[in-house]
Structure formats: structure tokens, C-alpha cells
Amino acid sequence: MREIQPLTTLTANDTQTWVKQRVINVIRSYHNAADVIAEPIQNAVDEVLSAPDIGSIGDVRIVFDTDENRISVRDNGRGMSSADVERYLAPDVGNKRAAFLKGLVRGHKGVGLTFLAYGFNFFEIESRTANEHYVVRLEGGRKWVEDEGEMEPPVGRLEDIGPGNGRLQETGTIITIALGPQSKPRSLRHAFPSAAFAVTAIRNQTAAGIIEPPRIAKERDLKVTLEYRSHSETETVNVAPTYRHPHNDLQEGYQTLDIGAWLRKNRNSEPSPKEKRAYHACYWRMNGNELIELIGNRTSEQLSTNEEIKEFVDKHDVHVYTLFAYSAKYREHLGESWSIPGNRQLHYPALRIGTDGMISSWSREITLTHRGFNVDRTWLLYTFRGIEPDLGRKDFPPEVHDFLELTEEIVSNEIARQSRPFLRPTASRTTTPEGYVPPQIKAYKRRENPLSPAYLPNFGEICLRTEPASEQDVIALYSELTGLGVFRHLKPVFYSGFDFYDSYFEYSPESVNRTVRRLYPGEDDLDIRAMEGVAEFKYTGDSVIEDVVASVKRWTDMTFLVCWDIGKDRKYGGDEITFTEPGGAADRLYHGVTHLARLQTGGEHTVFVISLKDLMRRLGDQDEV
């Protein structure tokens, strides 16, 4: 056995402080629970699909052991030499660049093994080549990252494995990671609560779910197997090595139409009576020629001529998959078909990108000028060849974003337009909704609960006459308090009734009212990335868990939650939301925050809560001011 220190492979001029900060930056660049499986699976898939002379099938075996809280990924590749493994655990060190440019592999940044070794407190790699067989263990990596005072990184241990020992009887590699309280995710059982859900995650968030087109270069076919261990029982599943599009694997009774294929076959034709209003959703795989025809004479900032657009489409073999449904219930049905818990986001309408056959973790909401219901009923997946993220795994070159902005609205509108004759109509609404109360009667009843306090010392009189009874009332009251100066440091950028989220705030600590600063102190010096964020409004704060479980909202997207009353700690749909009062400015972070909210499945992410009821009562207390 010998000790190894991967980070000493960096240049002699790098200080310990710089080395640690670089590792911290790598760890923080990963945001998704699926990253812990995405990285080892990507390495395994790249190896078995591109390596010469390893047999006719590339075999990747994934083990989720929820009892031990461990993940293992095994491949039948060529293995990795012990000299290489010590170098590749350090950040920005790799050997895949040339292969990436040929389309043979997807990973090439040289940070994946760094994330696995130092993002968790147990990391093990067993590898067998034609010449050696060894195991490397590195423990306490995440503890070192989180300990601000510790500069010396943990030491790894490399041990040779004798003949007949170890888990590998042929060449290949096994990577094992143990989750724990400091890692993200912390619990394998919570992150992947069933084998069925784990299969969907593997197909939709890792390189095992290959997206074609564009067709990727590969030496052989891929076989993926999942062993899911829970409560001392093991379920083994063969995982189809293809991306799971939102028209795949639906329950019986849900009908989808490949409208792109229909249009190619029936150009300038009307649907038959049998086809009209017969489908729940329509999808279309637009090829490059169809995209060019749809774009027409439109141009953009980066792609300023039709020739540049055509060259971009041809060079990167651009394709767009899009699916459109009339009813939001399609998304709910999809979650049921794929065994997805309500608070998971694998099937959410959004815009995603695949490059060289692999889905990226990057996604965003579809941007449409007219907004409206199309946003949460449209899926878009762009696929490119030879495009690489320019910020680790989070972003793409400017011309990619430019092309997305140029085309996403016209693609979304076209699928919606072409789908209308085929889609089943949504249920019509009655003229008078059940429970309708005329405005005059509602106002009379609401006056029985006048707003109190209606006057805030140092701020003035509030015009809203009655205590909030709905989310809209909360928005109105917050807007009025902002106008009075209570929240002049949390500036709304917009309010919207069509977006997934209600608002977006900019934080301006220099504008905090002195009374708010004294009673609800926060921090003035924050990272630039923390100076703005999504704001959600609710009548009671605890009700936001319903939106998260139903996949209407993403917990990690939200920074602020404004409510009339926090409600209570609440369990719902297999998840739990809890509220605590900040211990001081460091916990509160933002001036004016009354509570902190955490979600059981939300990891370390905290949502900062403003209870208007609590805040106004304290501001209105003469003794306090």
C-alpha cells in the first residue's frame, strides 16, 4: 500500500489556498441530485463505447445500495493505470480532448473525478488493466472542502490487488461513492426512492440515455444494468440505453402522434375524421432542413445572415424535438407512467440541450413573447454535434443561446398550430364556477376582518382595507409596503400571472430602512450571485409544498417566499417543509426575513421567508420603534 496525494500533481507555483479554492469551485458547479450518478456513468459510457478491443458489447452496471447509502458504477473497459488515476483526480486534468473533438466521447473537462473524490467523504476506484489491478480509496474529501481552516487535503491510499482477489475478474473499472450528511444528495433512498424512478433518472439525466440524432460515434452497442438494493432486497433492471422522450412509455389509453412524420407523408392534406381530436399530445423531430425552412428570413445577433444560420445548422447537425399537449394533465400522467414522485423534475416542460448524444444538466423555461398556457405544455429538446459547454456543465457558447432565442418561439408556435386539429379539446368551463360569490357580497364579508395594523409608525397608513385572504391579497399588500418603504431593499423586477414563478427580486442592502435593519438585520456584503432571485407569493407559506410535490415549482429555484402567515411545519406527498426563525443576521442573510424554510428533499437549499403578518405586527409595536 502506498499513499497518494492527487492535488500535488498541480504546478509547484499553486498555493494550497488556490488549490483548495479550485476544488471548491468544481464542487459548487454541480447542482443536481443526479450529478452523483451522471459523472461515473459518463466516464463508463465514454470508455466502453470508444475503447478498442474490449469485446462486442459495452457493459455498464450501476448499483444503488440504499441500505448502505452507496453508488457503484462498473464498466468492462480497458481500466485505468495507477499512474493516471492519481493525476486525473486533480481538477482540470484529463486525456479526452482529442477524442471529444472526434465525437467519440462526451466528457473531457477533467473535473468529474475531482467532484466525486472531494464532493463526498468516501470515494473508491478499483481498476484492472492488462498489466495491473489495484484499488484507491480517498476518505474525508467533502469534510476537507467544508472545513475553512483546513488547507492540507486528505491523503488517498493505493493498494495492489493480488490474483483472484477484488471485484474485477476482467479488465474494467468500478467507482464507488458513499453519500452522507455533507454531500448532495445526502440520502440515496430519498434522491432515488424506487428502481423505476432510478431508471428514468439514468435515462433522462446521464450519458446512458443516448439521444439521437445527432448520431454518436461508437465502437459497439451499449448494455446498461441497474441493481437497486433496498431493505436487503435487490431488484435488477435492464435499462434501455436511449433517452426517454415525453411520448415514450405512456400508460394504456394515452395516444400521441408523430406529427412531423404525418406532415412529411401528408403534406397539404387535412386529417381524416378518425384522426381529428384523437390524440393527447403531438411530437415532432425537426431536422435541419425543416428548421431552415421554418426560420425563413429571420436572423439574430450572432447569426446575422441566412448563410450563417444554414452553416451553423449544417455544421452542428442541429435537430429539435418538441412535444405539445393541450392539457397540463399530460405532465401528471407522464409522472405516473414513469413512476416519478411528485416533487421531481425529470418530466417538466422546459427547454433542454443534448450534445453528441448526451443530455446536459442545463435547462431553462421556454421563452415565448405571448406567454400563456403554451409554456407549461411544451417540451423542447435541441440536439447538437460538436458543441461543448463553456462554463463546466452549466452553460453554452453565445451562438447556441442566440440560436435558441431565434427559434424556440417559432418552433413552439408551429407545433401548437399543426397539432390543433389532432388534439383532444380540453374540458370547457361552466359560465358560473362552483362557489362563485358576487363581488359586493364578498367585499361585505371581507370587511368583517379589517387589516391590522393599518398604520405603521415611521412608514404611514396602509390603504388595503381587509386582512389578506388569498395570494393576490398578499401580492397587493407587499406592493403597498414596498411603496411605503418597508421593502425598498427587495425590489420587484416583475410580477406575473403566467410564469412558473410569481416574481423576481433584486436585493439592494444599501436601501434598507433603518427600522427594518434594526428589527430584522441581515448581511450587506453578499456574493453577487446572491443579490437577486426568484420570489414566490403564497397566502400561507406551508402551501408551497403542494406546488413542489406537484412539480409546479422547483424548490431550488426559489430564493424568497412572501406570505401572510407561515402556516406550520407540514408533511405532504412524502415530503416535509419546516420553518425556523433566524438566529441572527448571518442566518437571515437578507434584511427583513422573518423565517427560514427548508424542504426534506431540498438538500441544503434554504428559502428565505417574509411573513407579512409577523413583520407588520412587530413594526406596528410602539415599544419596538
C-alpha cell at 388: 461543448
Say what the pLDDT of residue 324 is. Answer: 94
Q: What is the pLDDT of residues 464-479, one digit of tens each?
A: 999 999 999 999 999 9
Q: How far apart are CA 225 and CA 208, in angstroms?
A: 10
The domains of the chain are located at 2-239, 256-419, 439-619
Say what the pLDDT of residue 94 is. Answer: 52
Say what the pLDDT of residue 625 is. Answer: 36
Q: How far apart are CA 590 and CA 405, in angstroms?
A: 33
Say what the pLDDT of residue 414 is. Answer: 94
Q: Mean per-residue pLDDT for 36-62?
A: 90
Vertex 326 angle, CA 323 and 330, to 5°: 70
The yes-or-no verdict on residue 32 having pLDDT over 90 is: no
Q: Mean per-residue pLDDT for 160-189?
A: 91
Q: What is the pLDDT of residues 489-519, one digit of tens each?
A: 999 988 875 556 889 999 999 999 999 999 9
Output the 3-class SS for 261-287.
Answer: HHHHHCCCCCCCCCCCCCECEEEEEEC
C-alpha cell at 235: 431488484
C-alpha cell at 210: 443516448
2-239: CATH superfamily: Histidine kinase-like ATPase, C-terminal domain (3.30.565.10)
Q: What is the pLDDT of residues 98-138, one digit of tens each?
A: 555 555 556 555 567 888 888 899 999 999 999 999 999 99
Q: How far apart are CA 133 and CA 465, in angstroms?
A: 76
User: Which residues lie below 8 Å from residue 1, measured CB to CB, with a gap of 6+?
Assistant: 157, 158, 159, 160
Q: What is the pLDDT of residues 270-318, one digit of tens each?
A: 899 999 999 999 999 999 999 999 999 999 989 999 999 999 999 999 9
The yes-or-no verdict on residue 40 having pLDDT over 60 is: yes
341 against 399, higher pLDDT = 399
The yes-or-no verdict on residue 225 having pLDDT over 70 is: yes
Q: How far apart are CA 501 and CA 80, in angstroms?
A: 46
Check: CB of residue 300 under 8 Å from CB of residue 405: yes
Say what the pLDDT of residue 623 is. Answer: 47
Say what the pLDDT of residue 577 is. Answer: 95
Check: CB of residue 393 under 8 Å from CB of residue 108: no
> Which stretches within 288-328 are classed as H helix?
288-295, 306-315
Vertex 85 angle, CA 97 and 25, to 5°: 65
Say what the pLDDT of residue 68 is. Answer: 96
